């Protein structure tokens, strides 16, 4: 068993912390090369003392010098770098074998792409990379021989139950050719699945981030409440598994025990189940193709008792419909959708936008950017992302 040399992009976040928890359980398998965080230098400092990485990366120079001083005072030899270019450097350094891509939002795209372009083993939590640049990213993964392992729990589940030859080279074949009829993507329905519709306008950030089953970062928690998260995941599945939009169905499953399913042409439906603990898909990706301990509790089926399934309600969750529409529209529409959503969610968390304003803003920005954006290069997609952010910010200014 060769030791994996690991860079954790976004180590201070929810996925980053769970990743390091798995690392700690397997000191013989993993060695940490770099840890990165936007601004939480106390947390990063503590992580550096435990894992002794060669590098730590933060967003700006001021934070970098503060963190460096703290590390030196603690006797640590970790060197602190800063800025976006440094993220790409630690994601693509020759000695690194494995990169956990766990930055939140479009900011995670460039370092993830940098890792793929040098053929790393990429553990992909940052779904926004695929929403923003799915086709180009998958092309680079294939062209550069990177190993892509999905960490998002649903995609990890689908990966586990697809035939091995297909999941490892989805673009060398087709889903139908692998005997697959469709992908069933499960969704919890979030905290507002049964809340009276006329009370949704009054939802607060605290209510939106209180997910019934999963503990996650704030942005993805709001996305889960609006079901934009499931919309982003449909787009993610489209690219990861070389699926058509119509090959993917969303199934609401409030208990979050079945993490997703694959239906085969003979009528067999294979599911992956487990406790809602992200260390399970993380450990799967880290150990692949072997299975390693994750620290998650055994699934207690008797206390779960029952598994329910429902059709998604597109009227209650307009963000889910917007995501399907953007995927069908193709081109840079999903990049626009993603950027508008990031601006809307940040404004909602800052109390500058009501909950029902989120889909209103996104729909308006998608209409404004229609026909104005291209998707033929990473630069064009970054321009689409920037234009959508500009239009979203203008929309917010007008709505005040
Ligand atoms: P989080 O907010 O808890 O952590 C995000 C990390 O990214 C932090 O380390 C933060 O410092 C860093 N970061 C934020 N902005 C940055 C920027 N501009 N530049 C560099 N670094 C930046 O988020 P999370 O919940 O851990 O989610 C991370 C990613 O994983 C997201 O793309 C999310 O959709 C995906 N994901 C998360 C979960 C989950 O359970 N938390 C499940 C599935 C997928
Ligand atoms: Mg998910």
Q: Could you read off the pLDDT of 136-179 as tens digits, one per residue?
A: 999 999 999 999 999 999 999 999 999 999 999 999 999 999 99
**pLDDT tens digits for range 292-301:** 999 999 999 9
CATH topology of domain 330-400: Rna Polymerase Sigma Factor; Chain: A (1.10.1740)
| Mean pLDDT, residues 237-247 taken together | 98
CA distance 342 to 346: 6
Give residue 36's pLDDT band: very low, low, confident or very high (50, 70, 90).
very high
How many whole angstroms from 173 Cα to the centroid of ligand 1? 32
CA distance 257 to 299: 9
Under a CB-based contact definition with an 8 Å cutoff, are residues 6 and 51 in contact?
no
How many whole angstroms from 221 Cα to the centroid of ligand 1? 11
Q: What is the pLDDT of residue 347?
A: 98
Q: What is the pLDDT of residue 337?
A: 98
Whole-prediction pTM: 0.98
How many whole angstroms from 189 Cα to the centroid of ligand 2? 12
Chain position carrying tokens 């080279």: 169
Under a CB-based contact definition with an 8 Å cutoff, are residues 364 and 395 in contact?
yes
Q: What is the pLDDT of residue 9?
A: 98
Q: Indicate if ligand 1 lies below 6 Å from the C-beta of 64.
A: no
Q: What is the pLDDT of residue 173?
A: 97
Q: Indicate if ligand 1 lies below 6 Å from the C-beta of 152.
A: yes
CA distance 78 to 226: 40
Number of the ligand closest to the Cα of 259 = 2
3-state secondary structure 314-331: CCCCHHHHHHHHHHHHCC
Under a CB-based contact definition with an 8 Å cutoff, are residues 35 and 62 in contact?
no
Residue-by-residue DSSP string for 42-74: HHHHHHHHHH--SEEEESSHHHHHHHHHHHHHT
Chain position carrying tokens 């060398």: 172
**pLDDT tens digits for range 81-136:** 999 999 999 999 999 999 999 999 999 999 999 999 999 999 999 999 999 999 99
Q: What is the pLDDT of residue 42?
A: 98
Q: Indicate if ligand 1 lies below 6 Å from the C-beta of 136.
A: no
CA distance 171 to 183: 16
Binding residues for NADPH: 12-15, 38, 126, 128, 217
Domain boundaries, given as residue ranges, for the chain = 4-150, 330-400
Q: Is the N-terminal amide bond of 363 cis, ω within 30° of 0? A: no
Q: To the nearest whole number, what is the mean pLDDT of the chain?
A: 97
| Helix segments in the chain, DSSP class H | 14-25, 41-51, 61-73, 84-92, 109-117, 128-144, 153-161, 164-168, 205-208, 218-226, 228-240, 279-287, 301-304, 318-329, 333-349, 357-369, 378-398
Give residue 204's pLDDT band: very low, low, confident or very high (50, 70, 90).
very high
| Mean pLDDT, residues 191-216 taken together | 94
**pLDDT tens digits for range 331-351:** 999 999 999 999 999 999 999
Q: What is the pLDDT of residue 335?
A: 98
Q: Indicate if ligand 1 lies below 6 Å from the C-beta of 38.
A: yes
Which has the closest alpha carbon to 49: 104, 87, 11? 11
Cβ within 8 Å of residue 361, ≥6 positions away: 340, 343, 344, 347, 353, 392, 395, 396, 399
- Asked whether the CA dihedral 384, 389, 391, 395 is positive or negative, the reply is positive
ipTM for the predicted complex comes to 0.99
Q: What is the pLDDT of residue 13?
A: 97
Nearest atom of ligand 1 to the alpha carbon of 229: 34
**pLDDT tens digits for range 7-23:** 999 999 999 999 999 99
CATH number of 4-150: 3.40.50.720
CA 370: distance to chain centroid? Answer: 25
Binding residues for 1-deoxy-D-xylulose 5-phosphate: 127, 153-154, 188, 211, 224, 229-230, 233
**Pairing verdict, β 180-187 and 258-264:** antiparallel
pLDDT above 90 (res 400):
no
Cβ within 8 Å of residue 124, ≥6 positions away: 101, 112, 130, 148, 149, 150, 151, 152
CA distance 222 to 227: 8
How many whole angstroms from 153 Cα to the centroid of ligand 2? 5
Q: Indicate if ligand 1 lies below 6 Å from the C-beta of 103.
A: yes
Q: What is the pLDDT of residue 11?
A: 98
Q: Indicate if ligand 1 lies below 6 Å from the C-beta of 391.
A: no
The encoded tokens of residue 376 equal 């033929």
Binding residues for Mn(2+): 152, 154, 233
Number of the ligand closest to the Cα of 108 = 1
**pLDDT tens digits for range 43-65:** 999 999 999 999 999 999 999 99
CA distance 370 to 331: 10
Q: Indicate if ligand 1 lies below 6 Å from the C-beta of 318.
A: no
Which has the closest alpha carbon to 124: 143, 140, 103? 103
Q: What is the pLDDT of residue 397?
A: 97
Nearest atom of ligand 1 to the alpha carbon of 40: 11
CA 3: distance to chain centroid? Answer: 25
Under a CB-based contact definition with an 8 Å cutoff, are residues 351 and 238 in contact?
no
| Mean pLDDT, residues 277-285 taken together | 98
Q: Indicate if ligand 1 lies below 6 Å from the C-beta of 127.
A: yes
Give residue 289's pLDDT band: very low, low, confident or very high (50, 70, 90).
very high
How many whole angstroms from 172 Cα to the centroid of ligand 1? 31
Binding residues: 12-15, 38, 126-128, 152-154, 188, 211, 217, 224, 229-230, 233
């Amino acid at each position: 068993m060769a030791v994996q040399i690991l860079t954790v992009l976004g180590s201070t976040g929810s996925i980053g912390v769970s990743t390091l928890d798995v690392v700690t359980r397997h000191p013989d398998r993993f060695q940490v090369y770099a840890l990165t965080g936007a601004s939480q230098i106390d947390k990063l400092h503590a992580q550096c003392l435990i894992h002794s990485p060669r590098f730590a990366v933060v967003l700006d120079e001021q934070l970098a010098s503060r963190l460096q001083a703290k590390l030196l005072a603690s006797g640590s030899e970790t060197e602190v770098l800063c800025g976006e270019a440094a993220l790409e450097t630690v994601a693509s350094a020759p000695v690194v074998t494995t990169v956990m891509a766990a930055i939140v939002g479009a900011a995670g795209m460039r370092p993830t792409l940098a890792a793929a372009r040098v053929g790393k083993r990429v553990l992909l939590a940052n779904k926004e990379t695929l929403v923003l640049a799915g086709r180009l990213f998958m092309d680079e993964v294939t062209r550069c021989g990177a190993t892509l392992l999905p960490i998002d729990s649903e995609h990890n589940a689908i990966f586990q139950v697809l035939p091995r030859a297909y999941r490892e080279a989805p673009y060398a074949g087709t889903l139908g050719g692998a005997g697959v009829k469709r992908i069933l993507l499960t969704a919890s329905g979030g905290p507002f699945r049964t809340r009276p519709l006329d009370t949704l306008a009054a939802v607060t950030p605290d209510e939106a981030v209180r997910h019934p089953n999963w503990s996650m970062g704030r942005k993805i928690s709001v996305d889960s409440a609006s079901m934009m998260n499931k919309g982003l995941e449909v787009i993610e599945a489209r690219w990861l598994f070389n699926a058509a939009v119509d090959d993917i169905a969303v199934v609401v499953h409030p208990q979050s025990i079945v993490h997703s399913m694959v239906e085969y042409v003979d009528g067999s439906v294979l599911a992956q189940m487990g406790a809602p603990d992200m260390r399970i898909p993380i450990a799967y990706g880290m150990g692949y193709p072997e299975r390693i301990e994750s620290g998650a509790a055994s699934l207690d089926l008797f206390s779960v008792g029952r598994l329910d399934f429902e059709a998604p309600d597109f009227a209650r969750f307009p963000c889910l419909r917007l995501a399907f529409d953007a995927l069908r529209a193709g081109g840079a529409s999903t990049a626009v959708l993603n950027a508008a959503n990031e601006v809307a969610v940040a404004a909602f968390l800052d109390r500058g936008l009501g909950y029902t304003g989120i889909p209103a803003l996104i729909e308006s920005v998608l209409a404004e950017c229609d026909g104005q954006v291209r998707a033929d290069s990473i630069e064009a997609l970054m321009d689409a992302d920037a234009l959508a952010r500009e239009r979203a910010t203008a929309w917010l200014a007008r709505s005040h």
